[in-house]
Structure 1
Amino acid sequence: MTRDDIDAVAAVRVRGWQTAYAGIVPQSYLDAMDAGADAERRKEWFDAGGKRVDNLVATDGAEVTGWAALGPYRGEPDDAEAGELYAIYVRPDRIGRGTGRALMAAVRARAGERGFRSLRLWVLADNAQALRFYERAGFAPDGTDQIEMYDGVPLKELRYATDPA
């Protein structure tokens, strides 16, 4: 991802959230998401150096169609060999056309290049489409879960893991 991609990445992320989590995450939370504000935060983060995160984009010509971010696992600090897929989103009109699979292949390759021995992610337990996608990509639940709050509503997240190769 370049700085010039950030506006498009923010739009993909926000629209991805609003589509993927409709009926799961409170609508008030989804309605409050703003691609412009998200882009401004990302530009500040990008300009500050990016904090060891790889941001990968999928494109069709000059058009950004998907985005993924990965880096060191944010959980147990003693697990320095674990990586984490922080996010992967595809423009809703591109779902089912190979963009997500291509991004996931790039994520796994980059995780291997970075020397991560495992790759983890968090997924909402009620997001059946994402669960299927991750399982087809070789991820499996590892028995760890957590509760995240969205506009005061507790939602269960499952941790999935795989080898990066």
Structure 2
Amino acid sequence: MLTITQKNIVFLVATLLFCISCKENKEEQTTEIITSNYIETEIPVYNFNDLEPLLYTNKDKIYIVNFWAMWCAPCVKELPYLQQLQAKNPDIEILLVSLDFPKDIDTKLKPFLKERNIISKVVLLDDPDANSWIDKINPEWSGAIPFTIIFNNETRKFYERSFENLEDIENEISKNFKQ
């Protein structure tokens, strides 16, 4: 038979083992969550000719292409709304077209995206002839960012402004697109 002191020791050891095993499970879950939100290891760099086919579709699926940059405060402010939209509507495909410098991909862009848990596909547009490709996208676009195209095979809408919140984007989609 165990004495009271021995029972206390057994209880403390059992409690300690239980706490350690719970802590290990929690760490495993956290690692899994971090891994699932990890940004792509490669961010493709496109010129406009490479990017242009991604701006059109023959499907009725809704696509959103957002031109942005890390240095653009309104762009950065609206990124969470685009991420919320994508999380809420996995059938809508979002492409973030960064206008940052290719030399900053590993040192600035990837850390920026990881820090903000960006889950959308990101490409970098590196084409010096902006006057040409801006007009090809939309002749009415001044070149200011953020600039967003929401489209499918029937409808194409351009937004030379930032979205104020998730509801703002959802309202534009419900107003202009059949779902």
Normalised to the residue count of structure 1, the TM-score between the two structures is 0.28
* Greater fraction of residues in helix: 2
Instruction: Say which one has the larger Rg.
Output: 2
* Greater fraction of residues in strand: 1
Normalised to the residue count of structure 2, the TM-score between the two structures is 0.27
Comparing both chains, which one has the higher relative contact order based on Cα–Cα distances under 8 Å and sequence gaps of 6 or more? 2
